[in-house]
């Protein structure tokens, strides 16, 4: 297999060929429109720029890696404080805190409601059935979970009567106690777009109500575009990725991809019938 061409090297070769041609033309023609000296200066200029670019490239790469390293360290420090947190009663019944996980320098951040049973057991966000649906959605977008950051409004699992059996939305007091951790994470991550998954995430981050009304309509948080959409748990109750509600969420994710300047995968645009009453 032939080695790939180096465009800059090809350009330098072309300039040297032009210089040679110009010198020959100068010897045989009284009129020459291409000055060999000018071409020589162009080659010297190009060589200088190339050397400068090569010298700067490792520094730029190191700078990017350094920023990622600092962000990862800051996120780890937040997670350690979350693990020791006793700001609200949820710490009494949790098994593990769920600070969130993913890329420390993401373009895209997903924010959900709070941990469920499986998340409470593993200490990871969105790893239960709803998380599996979210993972499929992320893959359909042409991304992986390692490309994004996934977190929740609260970092401990809320359950009815604190019995650890049935999940419930967090209270206003629980959200108020936990939201500073999320705000710190957003400050560190600096995502280009945030997706709020469900009514609780929308209310907890932006103090807005009406997910059905606001779904698919851009909002903003501290200069960051925010896309509200349905929570994967709601999609599961509505029939998963085989029903119309899922494709409404996909339409929202198309807007997200377009805002990020990413290609929109062709997923066939299936349109199942809407779910029935209830």
**Angle, vertex CA 211, rays to CA 90 and CA 218, nearest 5:** 110
* Buried-exposed string 145-181: b where 16+ CB fall within 10 A, e elsewhere: beebbbbbbbbbbbbeeeeeeebebbeeebbebbeeb
227: part of which helix (H) or strand (E)?
A: strand 224-229
Q: What digits encode the pLDDT tens for the residues 48-78?
A: 665 565 555 555 555 888 989 999 999 999 9
Lowest mean pLDDT among 13-17, 109-113, 203-207, 241-245: 13-17
* Residues facing 99 on adjacent strands: none
Q: Please name each of the domains of the chain with its CATH number.
A: 71-260 (3.40.470.10)
**Both tokens of residue 189?**
């991550």
Nearest by Cα to 90 from 134, 120, 55, 49: 120
d(CA 195, CA 81): 25
Compute CA distances 8 → 15, 36, 42, 206, whole Å. 11, 20, 13, 49
* H helix or E strand, kind and range, residue 195: strand 193-197
- Residue 215 CB coordination number (10 Å): 20
The single residue listed with the structure tokens 């903003």 is: 220
Residue-wise pLDDT for 183-219, tens only, equals 999 999 999 999 999 999 999 999 999 999 999 999 9
The dihedrals phi and psi of 259, each to the nearest 5 degrees, come to -65, -35
Q: Where are the beta strands (DSSP E) in 60-167?
A: 101-102, 108-112, 149-152
pTM more than 0.85: no
For the segment 218-254, what is each residue's pLDDT rounded down to a tens digit?
A: 999 999 999 999 999 999 998 877 688 999 999 999 9
- Lookup: tokens for 12: 């330098």
Q: For position 125, what pLDDT does the model report? A: 98
């Amino acid at each position: 297999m032939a080695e790939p061409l180096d465009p800059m090297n090809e350009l330098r070769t072309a300039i040297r060929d032009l210089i040679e041609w110009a010198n020959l033309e100068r010897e045989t023609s009284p009129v020459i429109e291409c000055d060999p000296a000018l071409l020589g200066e162009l080659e010297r200029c190009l060589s200088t720029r190339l050397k400068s670019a090569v010298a700067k490239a490792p520094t730029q790469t190191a700078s990017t890696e350094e920023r990622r390293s600092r962000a990862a360290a800051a996120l780890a420090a937040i997670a350690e404080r979350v693990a020791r947190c006793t700001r609200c009663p949820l710490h009494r019944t949790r098994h593990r805190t769920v600070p969130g996980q993913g890329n420390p320098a993401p373009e895209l951040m997903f924010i959900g409601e709070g941990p469920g049973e499986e998340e409470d057991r593993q200490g990871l966000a969105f790893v239960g059935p709803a998380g599996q649906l979210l993972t499929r959605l992320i893959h359909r977008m042409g991304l992986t979970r390692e490309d994004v950051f996934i977190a929740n409004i609260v970092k401990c699992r809320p359950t009815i009567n604190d019995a650890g059996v049935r999940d419930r939305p967090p209270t206003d007091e629980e959200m108020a106690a936990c939201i500073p951790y999320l705000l710190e994470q957003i400050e560190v991550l600096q995502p280009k777009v945030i997706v709020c998954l469900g009514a609780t995430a929308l209310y907890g981050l932006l103090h807005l109500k009406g997910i059905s009304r606001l779904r698919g309509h851009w909002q903003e948080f501290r200069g960051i575009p925010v896309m509200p959409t349905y929570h994967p748990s709601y999609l599961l109750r509505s029939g998963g990725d085989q029903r119309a509600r899922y494709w409404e969420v996909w339409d929202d994710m198309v807007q997200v991809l377009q805002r990020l300047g990413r290609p929109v995968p062709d997923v066939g645009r299936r349109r199942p019938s809407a779910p029935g009453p209830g």
